[in-house]
């Protein structure tokens, strides 16, 4: 098996940041010509396209964030000028549907495939990655058969909601628990049955996805939801602001630290509520939305909401969809539990926070942290500085 420069495990939105960044800095031809392979377990391009942001809600970012990293006179300019890209430009300062973002990501992916014939390996269900004696890495499938050998690996495998762990923690019958991603992707039958029957739904998590879940249920089922029919359990509420001059006096219960990003000036940049979820949070705190109750984790109200809910929605964060890594002696490299750690150069760290040579992480499952320890999550970040950091590391050996 011939060795290539780099293999990217996972072809979701974050993975597209590498070729976008390479084009932006004038290194796309070199990046592709020196050998890159994108591996995904989806059976074909059509199936993969359906997996990119298949949600019924708006993004937690404005349209301009998703096209900010694309070089307008480069290879991906036509994606920006296509239908989805044009709408993102038109709504550059407004929230946009995630389905539109998914369409744009598909346009980027299609452009990469055309520029890299044979570079996408579908039905490649990577189950392990082994380091060779020469420092290279070989991915293998379920049967242990080799897939690709490369000098470096970029893990862009994304993340998942560990509903089983949450069910066990709170003593919830698994059949009463659904992940927010499933619900937001359109699996609404059980929620509709509960709400139309006068039942109660409890949402665990006060982030964007938690409030977006509540907003979707309120929009879809409206007056069929009883007073207090929805409860959202949170660890503290946080609103986003353009800068410190925009902050307002918050209603009781919404007090939070105002963390100003040193790069953008935005307040609570990576965790604050925006747009519709932000508005819903404020309306509820001000007593204008009686169908939704907010309560803090560990409170009597929260425990009661979990005990008596007819359906519980998990919206309490994500865990890295890990692929086991093995060293040159065949020993599994221990990784941190939950979210895989990366350093400020996006290099993957093991459980002792040591760099795993030649392995990088990109995207939701491998987000870097800011100065407050908040995970830096956003397509503009993954396609921007994170992708550039990984690209410089991957291409560096060829310049030595």
- Same domain for 324 and 283, yes or no, is no
- Same domain for 29 and 97, yes or no, is yes
- Same domain for 220 and 369, yes or no, is no
Q: How far apart are CA 215 and CA 217, in angstroms?
A: 6
Mean pLDDT of 326-335: 95
Mean pLDDT of 236-246: 74
Distances in Å between the Cα of 299 and the Cα atoms of 103, 205, 281, 305, 306 are: 42, 14, 19, 10, 11
Q: How far apart are CA 227 and CA 290, in angstroms?
A: 6
Which run of H or of E encompasses 349?
A: strand 347-349
- Same domain for 117 and 242, yes or no, is no
How is residue 172 annotated by DSSP?
Answer: -
- Same domain for 186 and 220, yes or no, is yes
Q: How far apart are CA 93 and CA 68, in angstroms?
A: 12
Structural domains in the chain (count) = 2
For the segment 151-163, what is each residue's pLDDT rounded down to a tens digit? 999 999 999 888 8
- Same domain for 107 and 200, yes or no, is no
- Same domain for 182 and 309, yes or no, is yes
- Same domain for 196 and 291, yes or no, is yes
Mean pLDDT of 350-366: 94
Res 12 pLDDT > 80:
yes
- Same domain for 258 and 335, yes or no, is no
- Same domain for 271 and 332, yes or no, is no
For residue 95, the cross-strand partners are: 62
Torsion of CA 140, 27, 380, 355, to 10 degrees: 50
Q: End of a domain among 256, 282, 314?
A: 314
- Same domain for 155 and 184, yes or no, is no
CB 154, CB 171: distance < 8 Å: no
- Give residue 202's domain range: 163-314
**Count of CB atoms situated within 10 Å of the CB of 262:** 9
The confidence band for 398, taking pLDDT boundaries of 50, 70 and 90, is very low
Q: Is 239 exposed, middle or buried (CB count within 10 Å of its CB: 0-12, 13-18, 19+)?
A: buried
CATH number, domain with residue 27: 3.50.50.60
How is residue 386 annotated by DSSP?
Answer: I
For the segment 202-228, what is each residue's pLDDT rounded down to a tens digit? 999 988 899 999 999 999 998 889 899
Q: If you count DSSP H runs as helices and E runs as strands, how many of each does the chain have, helices first?
A: 15, 18
Q: End of a domain among 314, 340, 362?
A: 314
pTM, two decimals, is 0.89
**What backbone torsions phi and psi does residue 158 show, to the nearest 5 degrees?**
75, -155
Helix, strand, or coil (residue 149): strand
Q: Are strands 325-326 and 230-234 parallel, antiparallel or unpaired?
A: unpaired
Q: How far apart are CA 192 and CA 174, in angstroms?
A: 18
Strands (E) in 32-176, as ranges, are 36-39, 58-62, 95-97, 120-121, 128-131, 137-140, 146-155, 159-160
Q: Please give the pLDDT value at position 248.
A: 64
Q: End of a domain among 262, 291, 314?
A: 314
Q: What is the DSSP string of 197-235?
A: TT--EEEE--SHHHHHHHHHHHHHHGGGSPTT-EEEEES
Helix, strand, or coil (residue 350): coil
Torsion of CA 58, 266, 273, 361, to 10 degrees: 70
- Same domain for 338 and 285, yes or no, is no
Q: Which residue has the higher pLDDT, 37 or 253?
A: 37
Q: Please give the pLDDT value at position 164.
A: 87
Mean pLDDT of 182-204: 93
Q: Which residue has the higher pLDDT, 255 or 5?
A: 5
**What backbone torsions phi and psi does residue 396 show, to the nearest 5 degrees?**
-55, -45
**What backbone torsions phi and psi does residue 386 show, to the nearest 5 degrees?**
-65, -50
Terminus-to-terminus CA distance in the chain, angstroms? 25
Q: What is the DSSP string of 7-36?
A: EEE--STGGGHHHHHHHHTT-HHHHHHTTE
Least confident of 48-62, 79-93, 239-253, 294-308: 239-253
């Amino acid at each position: 098996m011939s060795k290539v420069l780099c293999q990217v495990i996972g072809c979701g939105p974050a993975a597209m940041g590498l070729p976008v960044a390479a084009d932006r800095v004038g290194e796309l031809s070199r990046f592709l010509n020196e050998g890159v392979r994108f591996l995904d377990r989806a059976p074909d391009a059509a199936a993969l396209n359906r997996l990119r942001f298949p949600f019924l809600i708006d993004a937690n970012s404005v349209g301009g964030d998703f096209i900010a990293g694309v070089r307008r006179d480069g290879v991906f300019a036509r994606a920006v000028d296509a239908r989805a890209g044009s709408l993102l430009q038109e709504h550059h300062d407004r929230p946009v549907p995630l389905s539109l973002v998914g369409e744009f990501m598909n346009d980027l992916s299609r452009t990469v495939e055309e520029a890299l014939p044979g570079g996408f390996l579908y039905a490649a269900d990577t189950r392990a990655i082994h380091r060779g004696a020469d420092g290279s890495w070989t991915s293998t499938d379920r049967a242990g058969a080799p897939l690709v050998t490369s000098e470096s690996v970029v893990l862009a495998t994304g993340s998942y909601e560990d509903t089983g762990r949450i069910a066990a923690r709170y003593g919830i019958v698994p059949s009463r628990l659904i992940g927010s991603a499933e619900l937001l992707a359109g699996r609404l039958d059980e929620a509709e049955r509960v709400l139309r029957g006068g039942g109660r739904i409890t949402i665990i998590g006060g982030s964007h996805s938690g409030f977006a879940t509540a907003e979707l249920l309120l929009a879809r089922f409206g007056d069929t939801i009883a007073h207090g029919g929805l409860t959202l359990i949170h660890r503290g509420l946080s609103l986003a602001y353009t800068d410190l001059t925009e902050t307002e006096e918050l209603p009781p219960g919404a007090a939070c630290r105002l963390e100003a990003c040193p790069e953008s000036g935005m307040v609570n940049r990576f965790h604050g509520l925006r747009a519709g979820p932000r508005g819903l949070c404020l309306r509820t705190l001000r007593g204008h939305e009686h169908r939704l109750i907010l309560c803090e984790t560990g409170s009597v109200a929260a425990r009661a909401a979990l005990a008596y809910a007819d359906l519980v929605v998990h919206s309490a964060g994500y865990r890295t969809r890990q692929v086991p890594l093995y060293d040159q002696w065949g020993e599994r490299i221990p990784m941190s539990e939950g979210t895989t750690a990366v350093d400020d150069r996006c290099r993957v760290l093991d459980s002792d926070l040591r760099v795993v040579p030649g392995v990088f992480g990109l995207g939701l499952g491998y987000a870097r942290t800011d100065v407050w320890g908040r995970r830096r999550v956003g397509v503009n970040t993954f396609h921007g500085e994170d992708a550039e950091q990984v690209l410089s590391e991957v291409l560096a050996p060829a310049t030595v």
